[in-house]
């Protein structure tokens, strides 16, 4: 089937895993590029990149369980480890043995967490406004969404995470149809289950269940750097969540990375700065 979302004319594919069906896009032929989204987006965020890159590459873009067009089971372990396992299952099912990685937001720890299981297969990395290391820097508005009971009411009943992201995560106003596409999969209490659990799963202390997994991912970054895997950093400087401290951390960890910092780009940097990013991506994957 093909979806009816703007600029998203791709065939939908599904992988049955424990807990439900995982939706993904698989377009084009050639060297494989895997796109991993964050919260509260879905593969729709990468729609322009999919169209651009699939001309000369095979592009695979996942919708995490509970996100986008994937199933949204109510009794499911929406944890960092589980999302990594799901991505690993998808790559195995598609028999992908070499790939490059493009990540955004939560896609950073998920994508890199999956890649460290197969570093010999990893060819290139692109990071956009993300983190794959520990940090205590979290905006108050996101902390409120983590408060027991109150957070669930804000995120799942009032859509207080995905809905405001449409204007808080961009510097340029989204077109109405694009704005609607971002929240279309998250139209009810039930369908916002993963969004809320992503917020809950931010490991701010050693007691958190995902803390050790994040530490393992963080410790792998040095190995990735030493392997001299080509690394591209694309950053929106107006990000209220992943602010300059995160950008600086990436630069310190990957001093040889190709870096592009957009002063007037928001968290959804692909929405604000795609015209500038397009030739950079073309050159990086040439």
Taking CA atoms, 34 is separated from 42, 115, 138, 256, in Å, by 13, 10, 27, 22
Three-state DSSP class for residue 168: helix
- Structural domain includes residue 128: yes
pLDDT given for residue 2 in this prediction: 54
pTM of the model: 0.96
Give residue 41's domain range. 13-284
Domain tally for the chain?
A: 1
What's residue 15's pLDDT? Answer: 98
- Are 131 and 102 contacting, i.e. CB atoms less than 8 angstroms apart? no
User: Residue 1 falls within a domain, yes or no?
Assistant: no
φ/ψ (deg, to 5) at 193 = -60, -45
- Residue 6 resides in a domain: no
- Does residue 264 sit within a domain? yes
For residue 6, what pLDDT is reported?
A: 87
d(CA 191, CA 9) in angstroms, rounded, equals 23
CA-CA distance, 17 to 273, in Å (whole number)?
35
Nearest residue to 248 (alpha-carbon basis) of 90, 137, 92? 137
Question: Is 40 domain-assigned?
Answer: yes
**CATH number, residue 162:** 3.40.50.1820
156 falls within a domain: yes
- For each successive 10 residues of the chain (286 residues), what is the average pLDDT? 79 96 98 98 98 98 98 98 98 97 98 96 98 88 88 96 96 96 97 97 94 97 96 97 96 98 98 98 97
- Is 99 within the bounds of a domain? yes
Domain assignment present for residue 5? The answer is no
What pLDDT does 3 receive? 63
């Amino acid at each position: 089937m093909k979806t009816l979302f703007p600029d998203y004319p791709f065939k939908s594919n599904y992988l049955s895993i424990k807990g439900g069906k995982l939706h993904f896009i698989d377009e084009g032929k050639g060297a494989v590029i895997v796109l991993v989204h964050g919260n509260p987006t879905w593969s729709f965020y990468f729609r322009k990149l999919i169209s651009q890159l699939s001309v000369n590459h095979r592009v695979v873009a996942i919708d995490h369980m509970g996100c986008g067009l994937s199933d949204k089971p109510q009794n499911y372990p929406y944890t960092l480890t589980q999302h990594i396992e799901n991505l690993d299952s998808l790559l195995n099912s598609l028999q992908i043995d070499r790939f490059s990685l493009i990540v955004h937001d939560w896609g950073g720890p998920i994508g890199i967490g999956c890649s460290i299981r197969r570093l010999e297969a990893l060819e290139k990395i692109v990071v956009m406004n993300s983190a794959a290391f520990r940090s205590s820097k979290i905006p108050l508005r996101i902390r409120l969404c983590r408060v027991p009971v109150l957070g669930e009411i804000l995120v799942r009943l009032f859509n207080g995470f995905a809905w405001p992201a449409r204007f808080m995560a961009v510097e340029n106003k989204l077109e109405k149809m694009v704005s609607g596409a971002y929240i279309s999969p998250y139209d009810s209490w039930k369908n916002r289950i993963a969004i809320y659990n992503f917020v809950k799963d931010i490991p701010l202390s050693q007691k958190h269940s995902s803390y050790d997994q994040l530490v393992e991912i963080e410790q792998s970054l040095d190995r990735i750097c030493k392997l001299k895997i080509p690394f591209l950093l694309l950053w929106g400087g107006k990000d209220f969540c992943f602010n300059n401290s995160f950008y600086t951390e990436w630069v310190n960890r990957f001093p040889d990375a190709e870096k592009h910092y957009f002063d007037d780009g928001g968290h959804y940097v692909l929405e604000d700065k795609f015209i500038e990013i397009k030739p950079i991506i073309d050159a990086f994957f040439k």
